[in-house]
Amino acid sequence: MTMQCDVVVIGAGMVGLALALGLRRCGLSVQVVEQMPSPDLLAADHRVSALNLASERVLRHLGVWEPIAEKQRYQQMSIWEQDSSSRLSFSAAELCLPALGYIVPNQAVMKAMYLALQDSGVVMRYGCKSARIHAHDEGVEIEFSQETLRASWLISAEGAHSRVRADFNFPTLEWDYGQSAVVATIATDLPHQACARQVFLTSGPLALLPLTEPHLCSIVWSVPSAQAHTLLALDEEAFSHRLSAATGMELGLCRLVSPRQSFALRARYARDLLRARCLLVGDAAHTIHPLAGQGVNLGLMDAAAVIEAVEQQVQQGNWNGCLDFLAPTLRWRKTEAMQMLAAMEGIKQLFAYRGPFRLVRRIGIDALQHAPIIKRQLALLATGNCGELPLMARGS
């Protein structure tokens, strides 16, 4: 049996579901293919995302922001280096913003999107893995065990380990950070006060991200991969003591309240985003270090840019399934990804240097803390309130 649609989105993460919602609103027929079970059957995932204000506006535009129940706005950010009195701080009040961003469980966002898609006309294929994907100049064919799905084009939003990227030999620049991120939920003696914190340790950055309960935080602890195995092997009490010491007791004693998960960290950058009617977006196109929490924001901007480009074609009556019109959009998104990769690598290397350079770095942090114009510009970039953004991501 053969079925037909305009677009197939492979991957039902945040970026893939955002694309499905947006492209369906453009009037295209869309099917989503995801090899994992449906969201209500998924095991607990303790990962969270730091969504900036640009991502909030995109999700509002798609009608899924308000239904997300578990979202914690953070009003402050504090960044420091271990064993140093130098500290860089930002606040929403000094920027005249309602918040700097939001910490949101990944599953909460995907659940809101999943519910919004139920009555949209988008066909959702969970627990479904294709046997073969064939792409040519006129479209793509995706073979399943008992049927074939034909579409004008395919979008890979599968994440860092994109099968489409590998199968179609997209040229990719990549390097291993030599680190893994240990993720968990913790309870703290002191309330987080809606502040997102990050301390740079000799082993790598440790983020404490505020959750909706005043004494709960999500941690993202980036360490050398061998050390990650050690941290996972510690019993809960030993891990909690190690974590409390690493934070300098910033929030008092820390205590694990969830299982620990670990994810290897690797940078990737696809030199091409489009080949034979197959398009890469989000982590399938680029992965960056999580130290600034910008990966998902970059992916959502990819989705918004593609949606707007398609919408313009449809409104002008030029939609015919050919993707030549995407060329300017894809050049823009590749530039944004490379700039973000370079920025994250720069920050990572800056805090990796030891010895006499530490004094220079601390002086620089102190100087930046007392340079309001530069600090404000950095904060606006981080919050998604300036720079080149898709229309639906821009503030008033």
User: pLDDT tens digits for 150-202?
Assistant: 999 999 999 999 999 999 999 999 989 889 999 999 999 999 999 999 998 88
Under 8 Å between Cβ of 217 and 189: no
Average pLDDT over residues 135-140: 84
Q: What is the pLDDT of residue 353?
A: 60
| Average pLDDT, integer, range 375-394 | 82
Whether 116 has a pLDDT exceeding 60, the answer reads: yes
**Between 195 and 341, where is the model more confident?**
195
Q: Indicate whether 348 pLDDT > 90.
A: no
Q: Domain 2-174+265-393 sits in which CATH superfamily?
A: FAD/NAD(P)-binding domain (3.50.50.60)
pTM over 0.75: yes
| Model confidence band, residue 319 (pLDDT cutoffs 50, 70, 90) | confident
Contacts of 382 (CB under 8 A, 6+ apart): 52, 77, 90, 100, 101, 292, 294
Give the mean model confidence (pLDDT) for residues 230-247: 96
Q: Where are the domains of the chain?
A: 2-174+265-393
Q: Is the pLDDT of residue 41 over 60?
A: no
How far apart are the C-alpha atoms of 277 and 8, rounded to whole Å?
11
Q: What percent of the chain has pLDDT over 70?
A: 92
More confident residue, 292 or 125: 125
* Residue with token string 């990650």: 228
Give the H/E segment covering residue 393. none
Is the Cβ–Cβ distance between 219 and 208 less than 8 Å? yes
Identify the band that residue 272 occupies on the pLDDT scale cut at 50, 70 and 90. very high
The pLDDT score that the predictor gives to residue 357 is 58
105-114: burial string, b at 16+ Cβ within 10 Å, e else: bebbbbbbbb
Average pLDDT over every residue of 357-383: 70
Residue 87: pLDDT band with limits 50, 70, 90 = confident
Q: Phi/psi class of residue 249: alpha, beta or left (left: φ > 0; alpha: ψ in -120 to 50)? A: left
DSSP secondary structure code for residue 171 in this structure: -
pLDDT beyond 60 at 228: yes
For 112-118, what is the mean pLDDT? 92
- Whose structure tokens read 């140093």? 84
Predicted local confidence at residue 95, as pLDDT: 86
Compute the distance between CA of residue 110 and CA of residue 119 in angstroms, rounded to an integer.
15
| Residue 5, SS3 per DSSP | strand
pLDDT at 352: 66
In the block, residue with structure tokens 């034909």: 150
pLDDT of 376 higher than 90: no
pLDDT band at 292 (very low <50, low <70, confident <90, very high): confident
